[in-house]
Amino acid sequence: MDISIERLCIENGLKMTGPRRVIARVLSEATDHPDVDELHRRANRVDPGISLATVYRTVRLLEAKGILSRRDLGSRRARYEPSADKHHFHLVDKDNGSVVEFSAPQAEAMLRDIAAGQGFDLDVIKIELYGRRTAK
């Protein structure tokens, strides 16, 4: 992921403590959509002193500042991704919960046309598709 969560935090006036820097780096390097427990595991590999409570507080703060977006993605736990990702789609495997993120310019164009027909100009397009992998 090419988004620097730490840079976004600084731009939003957040004080960057050591634990916040680690959590921001873990989030920036994530290629998936981790939940808080997974963020805690990854942050602890870098700094074993980071508590689960610190991760929860940091995630809530980043969400409140609009830096992170909470996603359901069909699991019981909220998962997170940078809010700066404007237009993209998720394909969620209902069997194992894996998430494939992809773009679909032709679908995006169609959705913009549909919205325009209803008198809307779209700012953000985020779509979640749920299914199961087919045998090849």
pLDDT (tens digit, 9 = 90+) per residue, 57-107? 999 998 888 888 777 766 667 777 776 656 778 787 888 777 777 778 898
Domains of the chain: total = 2
- pLDDT of res. 75: 62
Per-residue pLDDT band for 5 (boundaries 50, 70, 90) equals: confident
In a domain, residue 136? The reply is no
CATH of residue 39's domain is 1.10.10.10
- Look at residue 2 and tell me whether its pLDDT is greater than 50: no
Q: Which residues pair with 90 in a beta bridge?
A: 101, 128
CATH code of the domain in which 99 resides = 3.30.1490.190
Same domain? For 119 and 70 the reply is: no
- β-sheet bridge partners, residue 126: 88
Residue 52 lies inside a defined structural domain of this protein: yes
Same domain, 74 and 18: yes
Of the pLDDT bands very low, low, confident and very high (cuts 50, 70, 90), residue 115 is very high
Region 6-10: mean pLDDT is: 84
Q: Does 11 fall in a domain? A: yes
Range of the structural domain that residue 93 is part of: 87-131
Assess whether pLDDT exceeds 80 at residue 136. Answer: no
Greatest extent of the chain over all pairs of C-alpha atoms, in Å: 54
